[in-house]
Amino acid sequence: MRIGILGCGAIARNHVAALRATAGVEVFAVADTVPRRAHAFAAEYGIPHAYADAEPMLARGLDAVTVCTPHGAHEAGVLAAARHGVHVLCEKPIALDVAQANRMIAAAGAAGIRLGVIFQRRFWPAAARIRAAIDDGRLGPPICGGVVARFNRDADYYAEPWRGSRATEGGGVLMTQAIHHIDLLQWYMGRARRVTGRCATLVHQGLIDVEDTAGALVEFASGAIATVQAGTTFRPGRGARVWVADAAGRVAGVTEFPEGVGSAGPVPEGSGDLPLAAVHEHLAPFHAMQVADFVAALREDREPAVTGRDAVRSLEIVEAVYTSSRTGTTVVLE
Ligand SMILES: NC(=O)c1ccc[n+]([C@@H]2O[C@H](COP(=O)([O-])OP(=O)(O)OC[C@H]3O[C@@H](n4cnc5c(N)ncnc54)[C@H](O)[C@@H]3O)[C@@H](O)[C@H]2O)c1
C-alpha cells in the first residue's frame, strides 16, 4: 500500500515511523509548501518522492495520504484527497471549525473514501480500559466527569508563525492541547448538548491572539454534567486528567503526566515538562496503533477507530466554548 504524507513538520516524523511499522505499507511520497522541507525530509527518511504541493503527489496514484499540516490547511488537504479518490488520515483537530469539518466529512462520503482523524490518546491502555468498562457494564453510563489540562507553552513554541493565531490555529489551549482530553471525555460521556464557557488570554498577551486559559460547563444529551479547565500557563506543566463517574459512585480516570504519558494513577506533583520531541516520542507507539488500525480498516473495508464524524464531536464542544465566551450565553448543540 502506497501512502503519502502532506506536511513535513514535527508530527510527520511520528507518521513515518508509524507507517513503516505497519506491514505492507510504503511511505511513497511527501509534500510540503516549503519545498526544501519536503526534500530534506524525503532525503532524511529515504522517501522516493518529494513535492511542493498536494496535487502532484496525489496524482501519483497513492492508496492513502496522512495530513500533517497546520489546522488551517486540513480542509484543503482532505478535499484534495477526496478529489483524487485517496483515503485520508488527518491530524487533530479535524479542522479550524465545525463548518469546515462537515464539508470534509461530506466530501469524503461523496468520494467513497475513508476519513480517519488522529486521537492517539484513545489507544492508551488506561484510556481504552475506561471505554471497555462502560461497554461491558463494569462502569455505568457516566453521570459526571471532567478534564483538567495544565500545560506549559512559551514564546519558543509560539515562534512557529501558524501557532497562537486564530486564523491559522483556530484557537489556543482548547483547540490544540485539551482537544485530546475533551475527545476522551465525550468518548465516555456521549453527545454534548449544552455548553457554557469562558476563555481568556491572561499570560501570553502580545504573543498569541487565542486563549491560554479556559473553563467550561458541558451538559450531555444523557443529562450528565462535566467541567473542563485548561491552560498553557503552568510553569512547570502539571499534565492532565480526564475522569468520569457513574450513578453507583464509581470513578474512573486517566492521567497524562508527564505530557505524552498516559496512566491510570493520580496526577503527581513535580515538573511535567519534557521537550516536545520527547512528548512526541512517548506518544509514538499509540500513534502507530492508530495508523495500523487505519491501514487495517482500509484492508478490511470498515470504518477506522476514529472517523471524521467522531472527530467533529470534540470540535463542536471547543467551538461552543468559544461562542459561549464571546456571546455570554449557553450554546445549545443540535
Ligand atoms: N497527535 C498529536 O499528538 C499531535 C502532536 C503535534 C501536532 N499535531 C498536529 O499535527 C499537525 C501539524 O503539527 P506540527 O507540530 O507537525 O506542525 P509543524 O509546524 O511542525 O509542521 C507543519 C508542516 O506543514 C507544512 N505546511 C503548511 N501548510 C501546508 C500545506 N498547505 N500543504 C503542505 N504542507 C504545508 C509546513 O511547511 C510545515 O513543514 C497539526 O494539526 C497539529 O495539531 C498532533
* Residues facing residue 146 across a β-bridge: 227, 243
How much is the pLDDT for 89? 98
Question: For residue 245, how far is its CA from the centre of ligand 1 (angstroms)?
Answer: 35
Q: Which residue has the cell 491572561?
A: 202
Indicate yes or no: pTM above 0.85. yes
Note the pLDDT tens digit of each residue in 272-322: 789 999 999 999 999 999 999 999 999 999 999 999 999 999 999 999 999
Atom index in ligand 1 nearest the CA of residue 12 equals: 16
How many Å lie between the centroid of ligand 1 and the Cα of residue 299?
A: 27
For ligand 1, what atom is nearest to the CA of residue 73? 31
Answer whether residue 268 shows pLDDT above 80: no
49-51 vs 26-31, strand pairing mode: parallel
**Peptide bond preceding 93 in cis form (omega within 30 of 0):** yes
* Average pLDDT score over residue span 37-47: 98
**Pocket of ligand 1, beta carbon within 6 A:** 6-12, 31-34, 37, 54, 68-71, 73, 91-92, 118, 120, 160, 176, 283
Is 80 exceeded by the pLDDT of residue 257?
A: yes
Task: Determine the residue type at 153.
Answer: R
Query: What ligand 1 atom has the least distance to the C-alpha of 71?
Result: 41
Which residue spans within the chain are E strands per DSSP? 2-6, 26-31, 49-51, 64-67, 87-90, 115-117, 144-150, 192-200, 213-220, 225-231, 239-245, 251-256, 262-263, 331-332
The domain segmentation of the chain, as residue ranges, is 2-117, 121-276+314-332
Distance 222 CA to ligand 1 centre (A): 35
Give 30's contacts (C-beta < 8 A, 6+ positions apart). Answer: 4, 5, 6, 8, 12, 38, 41, 42, 47, 49, 50, 51, 57
What does the pLDDT read at residue 334? 84
Q: What does DSSP assign to residue 121?
A: G
Give per-residue pLDDT as tens, 109-163. 999 999 999 999 999 999 999 999 999 999 999 999 999 999 999 999 999 999 9
Residue 214: predicted pLDDT: 98
Q: Do domains 2-117 and 121-276+314-332 have the same CATH topology?
A: no
Q: Which amino acid is residue 251, in one-letter code?
A: V
Nearest residue (by CA) to ligand 1, atom 30, is: 33
Pocket-testing residue among 66, 67, 71, 91, ligand 1, by greatest number of atoms within 8 A of Cβ: 91
Q: Ligand 1: distance of its center to the CA of 74 in Å?
A: 9
Residue 255 contacts residue 240 (beta carbons within 8 Å): yes
Tell me the CATH architecture of domain 121-276+314-332.
2-Layer Sandwich (3.30)
Residue to mutate (ligand 1; options 5, 68, 174, 274; most atoms within 8 A of CB): 68
What would the CATH number be for the domain defined by 2-117? 3.40.50.720
